[in-house]
Amino acid sequence: MNHINVSVTVDRKVDEAAIRFEQFLREYAPETEMNFTLRAPFDLTALNVGFTLHRDVTARITPLAQGGCAYAVAWQPVEPGPFPSLSGTIFIAASETSQDQSTVTLDGHYHPPLGVAGEVFDAVLGKHIAQASASDLIDRFGAYLGNVVAPEKTVAPAAEFIPVSQFA
C-alpha cells in the first residue's frame, strides 16, 4: 500500500473554509457520491512532450464528525482497468503562518492493482499519476474554498469540477 499526502493553503479562516467545503459537498455531491475527472499532467521536457492523463472516478466524501473539519474520502475508477482506488482523509486546519489562512490536506493510501506488475508500474510511473491526481484534486478543492484560481498546471481550468454525467 502506498501513501499520498498533499495540501494547499487557502485565504480563509478555518471556520470559513469548513463552511465552503460543506457548500461544495451540497452542490457537487448531493447524494454523497460524485463523479469527476482526475487529471495527472506530464511534462516530458527532454522529449518536448506534454500531456494530461484523464481518469473518471466515483468519489465518496463523508464527514467524520458533526461540524468538524475532517472528512473520509474514497474514490475508485468508473471504468475497469489497471487504475488504483484510494481511501483517506481530508483535513481542514489553521495555517501555521496565518490565522487568516487554512490548510486543506488529503492524506490517503492506495494499493496498485495487478500484483507485482502493478508494483513495478507504480515505481516507474504510477506513483507520479497518483500524486499528480491527488494534487490536482486538492488544488481544485483549494480553489473552490478560497474562491481563487489554483496554480495553472492542467489543460482545463483548475477550479472547475466537471461531473462525468455531463460528458454522456
**Domain containing 145 — which CATH number?**
3.30.530
Q: Say how many domains are in the chain.
A: 1
Determine the average pLDDT of the residues in 59-88: 82
How does pLDDT run across 8-43, given as a tens digit for each residue? 999 999 999 999 888 888 877 655 677 767 666 666
Residue 155 structural domain: 2-167
The answer to whether the CB of 101 falls within 8 A of the CB of 10 is: yes
Cell of 123: 515505481
pLDDT digits (tens, 9 = 90+) for 143-154: 888 864 443 333
Provide the strand spans (E) within the chain.
2-10, 33-44, 49-63, 70-77, 86-94, 102-110
The dihedral over CA atoms of 4, 163, 94, 17, expressed in degrees to the nearest 10, equals: -170
A 10 A CB-CB count for 167 gives: 9
